[in-house]
Structure 1
């Protein structure tokens, strides 16, 4: 089986990346992060409805709906490619929940309705911004989120995650892992120390090489699971994607040195989002249990 992307898939990736770069580039990201009240850098929980509508018009939520129902008519492998780009761009909002609900919740496919979901772990992202909440959210209490662009509430956890939700979240994690790899390499090739670029130092080379290996391993697992749609393979892909996202963000911080730990740098935003995704959807211990049970 040939797992390489065909021309249509490569065009899809390029188109989505260009769309997100134009609509939610770095300036928009920083404006969203720094737009919280009090100037403390904590987001105010408001979702950009204009952006959400544009994402709907671009087909992000209706990607897997059949054309006769107003959708794009693509499959899970293409959705994985799109959500990897969303993860790379750090798009805010309950993207996966709205996408998964596009076939059953009126208005979700068009981006007119925001859908969130109660996690089996008892967390609800973007509760106050959502029009529709899937699951019981009575008695939800706000909790402090490490990610300034993912407001969270906590409720009693019940139920299980849908496999497609796990897989698309893993794809977002791959996007963060890839962004961190690219950012670390770009910085290492221009930052000079002791008269040479730091990318020439063996320790930095090893860090960047390890980041690339983790990214490609996780990407291969996510792409493979998108083709088979096997729940165990999806759980394994989520494990690898979580590890790649978190470890790559940490190594990217290391490559950037003291600058990487400043609020003005974007590296910490990817690390924080990776932490939240890892905890919110099929955490590592539960994913490991699912894989182990199948061995």
Structure 2
């Protein structure tokens, strides 16, 4: 089987990258931070008009008619650009929630665990309910007809406002695998972007009369970052083709690790500059922390993979 991207897929990725570079560059990113993470409805409608949310809807229903492999390419670019908002939930709601496909409606989801989250793990914080992202900007919640009220809570990511709500039931469970895969794509895009940022800074920043990229320790950090990101991307693309739940879990596990660890290593390459508010590196780390808790956590992915391995061992022993 040939896993290389087709010319059409390469054009799709390049087109999305160009769109986001023109519409959501660094100035727009910083404006989002300054606004406290408030959603840009104009940008949301532009994404809808470009087919971002209707990508997998059949053409007969007004969609683009593509599949999961193309969707992960698009979401990878969104992760690379740190595009904010409940992208995954709105994409999954296309075709079921009016206006979601066109970007005129914003749809969030109970995807952060807790009593209403996809894992059904209870309330890990012991505060009485799950967390929901972008609730104040949302018109609907995926899988439920009700839009609950919630109390704002402090978020690690300034571009992901969080709200604690009363337990609504396991509303997002039916979308769990697709949600985890698309979130893994966002994480992979972020991991790849932090590789670029680290390499660029290592080439520009000089110490002792030479770029810091000439030092072996920095070379090793950048090389390790690249390996993590490429391994995550390989697992992501394979899971997008097979849609196997275990492979999706593995892709999410690898992508979460790549996004978090790459952002940390990128901060280290930047030194003290990386920890300043003016730098963008810390935004990748904070977003990666939040995404790692969405749809399927590392612990949940490990449990699923362990169950699959145990089942395979038992079948082997039986034969």
TM over 0.5: yes
- Paired residues for 1:80-159 under 5 Å: 80-119=72-111, 120-121=113-114, 122-134=130-142, 135=144, 138=148, 140-155=150-165, 156=167, 158-159=169-170
1:52/1:112 contact within 8 Å kept: yes
**In structure 2, how many angstroms separate the alpha carbons of the residues matched to 1:175 and 1:140?**
30
Q: TM-score, normalised by structure 2?
A: 0.88
Unaligned runs of at least 5 residues, structure 2: 115-129, 310-319
2:32/2:38 contact within 8 Å kept: no
Give how far 1:158 is off.
4.4
1:232/1:294 contact within 8 Å kept: yes
2:55/2:65 contact within 8 Å kept: yes
Partner of 2:59: 67
Give how far 1:280 is off.
2.5
Q: Equivalent residue of 2:204, what SS?
A: coil
**In structure 2, how many angstroms separate the alpha carbons of the residues matched to 1:225 and 1:231?**
8
Partner of 2:123: none
Partner of 2:312: none
- Which one has the largest radius of gyration? 2
> Cα distance 1:158–1:235, how it changes in 2: closer, same or farther (>3 A)?
farther
Partner of 1:39: none
What stretches of structure 1 move > 6 A for 4+ residues in a row?
A: none
**In structure 2, how many angstroms separate the alpha carbons of the residues matched to 1:284 and 1:154?**
22
CA RMSD of aligned residues (A): 1.3
1:118/1:137 contact within 8 Å kept: no
1:123/1:280 contact within 8 Å kept: no
Partner of 1:285: 299
Q: Equivalent residue of 2:46, what SS?
A: helix
* Count of residue correspondences: 287
Q: Equivalent residue of 1:153, what SS?
A: strand
Partner of 1:170: 184
Give how far 1:139 is off.
5.6
